[in-house]
């Protein structure tokens, strides 16, 4: 199917009002247009429940697609009892909703990596410099398989996805350690070394001092056949636009805006409304 317009939108974080306003600004028509979401559909905004419902409905119409972010994985972990709701997250209404099971079952079947068009690849946080795009696709499929298995298997996997320290990637990495590392690259990465070593404490903008030997993952320039579209890093405010990488998280939940990137020409459209919940 050919679309009038396709837009890639950064982290919604449950900012339902800003999301609806952005769709009005785009003059979005689900019969003609398609939206791609960079993950983190839920968490700290004012209405994660209806945000999740809206995105699910559009995806089922074929008018949208999403990849999973770290907050989406955390939502699944809370659902299955692997962790508790974070203090600043406003996701409790999802678990109390009549359609909670339906929403969460749908969410765990969404991809980690997607191809919005022939020139781009979409992930939540990024793709590390030591992976080719082919590597990334294969590792994404490995993580997806883990998330989409039986609930018994999911309950075994989810507790292993969390660690305060990053795992070093090596040739013999396997088991839950490998799955955790894959999830960390796709959903939590900001800084890394050229060999893929991760650092989780830095969340600031690019003008702040960084740990020695670490750079933003996209600063390690690797020839890519596709431009990597990513969210996750709110402090960038969607201002990083390189030949091989484009930031899409406008930091709406932090009082800034949602960002929509039009695939046909790279034009950026922003919401005029920020998230209604102070952080």
pLDDT of residue 164: 81
Confidence of residue 278 (pLDDT cuts 50, 70, 90): low
> Has residue 47 got a pLDDT over 70?
yes
Lowest mean per-residue pLDDT among 25-34, 162-171, 225-234, 245-254: 162-171
For the chain, domains (ranges, CATH) are: 6-270 (3.60.21.10)
- Average pLDDT rounded to a whole number, residues 227-238: 97
Work out the percent of the chain whose per-residue pLDDT is above 90: 91
Residue with tokens 């770290």: 70
Q: CA-to-CA distance for 147 and 128, rounded, in angstroms?
A: 21
What is the chain's mean pLDDT, rounded? 95
pLDDT of residue 231: 98
pLDDT of residue 163: 84
pLDDT of residue 69: 98
The DSSP 8-state label assigned to residue 166 in this structure reads: P
- Write the pLDDT tens digit of every residue in 171-203: 899 999 999 999 999 999 999 999 999 999 999
Q: CA-to-CA distance for 62 and 128, rounded, in angstroms?
A: 30
pLDDT of residue 279: 64
CB under 8 A, 24+ apart: contacts of 112-117: 112/67, 112/68, 112/140, 112/143, 112/144, 112/186, 112/187, 113/67, 113/137, 113/140, 113/186, 114/36, 114/65, 114/66, 114/67, 115/226, 116/6, 116/8, 116/36, 116/65, 116/229, 116/263, 117/6, 117/263
pTM: 0.96
pLDDT of residue 195: 92
Confidence of residue 162 (pLDDT cuts 50, 70, 90): confident
């Amino acid at each position: 199917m050919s679309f009038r317009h396709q837009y890639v939108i950064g982290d919604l974080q449950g900012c339902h009002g800003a999301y609806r306003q952005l769709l009005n600004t785009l003059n979005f028509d689900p019969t003609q247009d398609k939206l791609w979401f960079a993950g983190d559909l839920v968490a700290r905004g004012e209405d994660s429940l209806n945000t999740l419902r809206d995105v699910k409905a559009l995806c089922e119409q074929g008018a949208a697609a999403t990849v999973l972010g770290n907050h989406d994985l955390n939502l699944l972990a809370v659902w299955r009892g692997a962790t508790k709701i974070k203090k600043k997250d406003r996701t409790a209404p999802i678990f109390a909703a009549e359609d909670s099971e339906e929403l969460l079952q749908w969410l765990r079947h969404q991809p980690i990596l997607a191809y919005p068009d022939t020139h781009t690849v979409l992930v939540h946080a990024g793709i590390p410099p030591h992976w080719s795009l082919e590597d990334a696709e294969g590792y994404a499929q490995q993580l997806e398989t883990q998330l989409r298995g039986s609930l018994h298997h999911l309950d075994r996997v989810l507790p292993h996805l969390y660690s305060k320290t990053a795992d070093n990637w090596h040739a013999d990495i396997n088991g839950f350690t490998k799955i955790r590392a894959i999830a960390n690259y796709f959903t939590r990465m900001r800084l890394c070394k050229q060999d893929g070593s991760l650092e989780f404490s830095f969340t600031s903008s690019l003008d702040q001092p960084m740990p020695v030997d670490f750079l933003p993952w996209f600063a390690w320039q690797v020839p890519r056949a596709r431009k990597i579209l990513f969210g996750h890093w709110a402090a960038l405010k969607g201002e990083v636009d390189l030949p091989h990488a484009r930031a899409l998280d406008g930091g709406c939940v932090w009082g800034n805006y949602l960002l929509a990137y039009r695939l046909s020409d790279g034009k950026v459209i922003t919401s005029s409304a920020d998230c209604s919940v102070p952080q």
